[in-house]
Amino acid sequence: MQKAGVIRDFYGRRYRIGESDRALLGRPRAWMLGATWAAMLAAGAGQYGYGALLPAIVADRGWTWQQGCWVLALWTVCQSASVYPAARARFTPAATLLVGAVLCASGFVALAGSGDFVVVLVSHAVLGGLGAGLVYGTCVRVVTRWYPERSSRVALVTGAFAYGALPFLLLGFGAAAIVVVVLAGASALVLRNPPEDWWPQHVDPQRWALDKTVNPSLRRNRPPIRQYSIAEVVRCPASRQLYFAVSCAAAISLFDIAYLAAFKGILAAALFAGASGVARAGAGWAGARFGRQTVLCGALAAGGLAQLLVVGSLVVFGACLAGAACGACYALLPGVVEGHFGERLGLPNFGLFYGAKAAGGLIGVLLAAYVGATGFVVTAVLGIAAAALLASLRQPGRPVLALWRM
């Protein structure tokens, strides 16, 4: 058993050791994983479920297609913008989770019961979007703190945000309101943060930081040079490259969410959401084995290629590939951020880059609203350009070694 205390590794990162999860919680930390996964299940219905049902919603309420798209666009902006505050919040995870769940549910109730565009815009797009962001940010924050040595657990939890929306294609948004309150309420009963810098008792953190047999992901993923503050991250040129890549991924994803159901059928939209959720666990494994930045480049390129497949005759395959690529991007983002800018817990630096979804998502939804099928060509170019730019991304502070021929 490790002696209780705080130690540092070779890179200067702090670890609080000597306390088991059972001693702190009275139960295994797997309860935190299950609770965050359950809370995420219904929250994503406002994005993936709304996109899949968008044609029916527009027809039922007598809106224009552009009005329906503006609801999704504003929801995306509010959801992505509230993840960073959730990461910085000083409140307990139970409190932020419950507030987020109530806001989500209010949006679903308005969406299910009101046909007034302004009411839905305020209740679902603004309040519901903010609530979904609070749920997302809280769950990611908790699971990264309880599983600091296993980043793939974050991908497992965020996957529920995508495929969890599928049942509500049949049950509707009224059921989503009930489910999100019940699941989030039950999760809040058990959800707790560990102490600052907590580390699991069965893993030696100093060996984990350097030994590739203990931490195999080190073979393909370099640790950061040092820990960067938010202000330092913003000033780094590398942060702008990564921010642009995330914006492009969001533009592709939200364009597909808004466009697929209306013009390629609800099956294509459902396959996109399902693939986005399921692929995240595999992406986490692939990132540890082959390198997160390498896999992320491949995912962005595949997402761009998938746009051309969807607009052609391979709609089903293209929708699955596009969804899987989108899911891989969000699964790998916390690890890529950590590898370049430090902060072992991945937050709130992750929340800063997740906020790029606001700009990219707005572009993607408006492409679907006003450009139509030509948007597939635009998003294909965005995917390839982002992959090329990300391939040249370097860790801040790492020197460039030039080889001179004599």
218 part of a folded domain: no
pLDDT digits (tens, 9 = 90+) for 231-273: 888 888 889 999 999 999 999 999 999 998 888 888 999 999 9
Sign of CA dihedral 315, 378, 327, 265: negative
Considering only residues 184 and 223, tell me which one the structure prediction assigns the higher pLDDT. 184
Task: State both tokens at 125.
Answer: 């797009």
54 part of a folded domain: yes
CA distances from 242 to 93, 138, 296, 365 (A): 28, 23, 11, 21
pLDDT of amino acid 262: 84
Is the separation of the CB atoms in 198 and 145 below 8 Å? yes
Verify that 241 and 129 share a domain, yes or no. Answer: no
Verify that 50 and 183 share a domain, yes or no. Answer: yes
The 10 Å CB-count burial string (b at 16+, else e) for 274-303 is: bbbbbbbbbbbebbbeebbbbbbbbbbbbb
What are the φ/ψ torsions at residue 225 (nearest 5 degrees)?
-60, -45
How many domains in the chain? Answer: 2
Give the residues across from 6 on adjacent strands: 16
**What pTM was computed for the model?**
0.92
Verify that 188 and 231 share a domain, yes or no. Answer: no
Verify that 236 and 372 share a domain, yes or no. Answer: yes
Last residue of a domain, one of 146, 176, 194: 194
Q: Where are the beta strands (DSSP E) in 157-197?
A: none
Verify that 157 and 65 share a domain, yes or no. Answer: yes
pLDDT of amino acid 325: 93
Distance CA 371, CA 365 (A): 10
Verify that 258 and 329 share a domain, yes or no. Answer: yes
Rounded percentage of the chain residues whose pLDDT exceeds 70: 96
69 part of a folded domain: yes
pLDDT over 50 (residue 123): yes
Last residue of a domain, one of 149, 174, 194: 194
299 part of a folded domain: yes
Domain coverage including residue 383:
227-395
139 part of a folded domain: yes
pLDDT digits (tens, 9 = 90+) for 352-362: 899 999 999 99
Verify that 237 and 340 share a domain, yes or no. Answer: yes
Verify that 190 and 243 share a domain, yes or no. Answer: no
CATH of the domain at 62: 1.20.1250.20
pLDDT digits (tens, 9 = 90+) for 307-330: 999 887 788 999 999 999 999 999
Distance CA 138, CA 241 (A): 26
Last residue of a domain, one of 149, 173, 194: 194
Verify that 163 and 309 share a domain, yes or no. Answer: no
Verify that 175 and 262 share a domain, yes or no. Answer: no
296 part of a folded domain: yes
pLDDT digits (tens, 9 = 90+) for 69-92: 999 999 999 999 998 888 777 789
Q: What is the dihedral of CA 56, 59, 63, 68, to 10 degrees?
A: 20
271 part of a folded domain: yes
311 part of a folded domain: yes
Verify that 232 and 356 share a domain, yes or no. Answer: yes
- pLDDT confidence tier of residue 211, bands split at 50, 70 and 90: confident
Verify that 72 and 175 share a domain, yes or no. Answer: yes
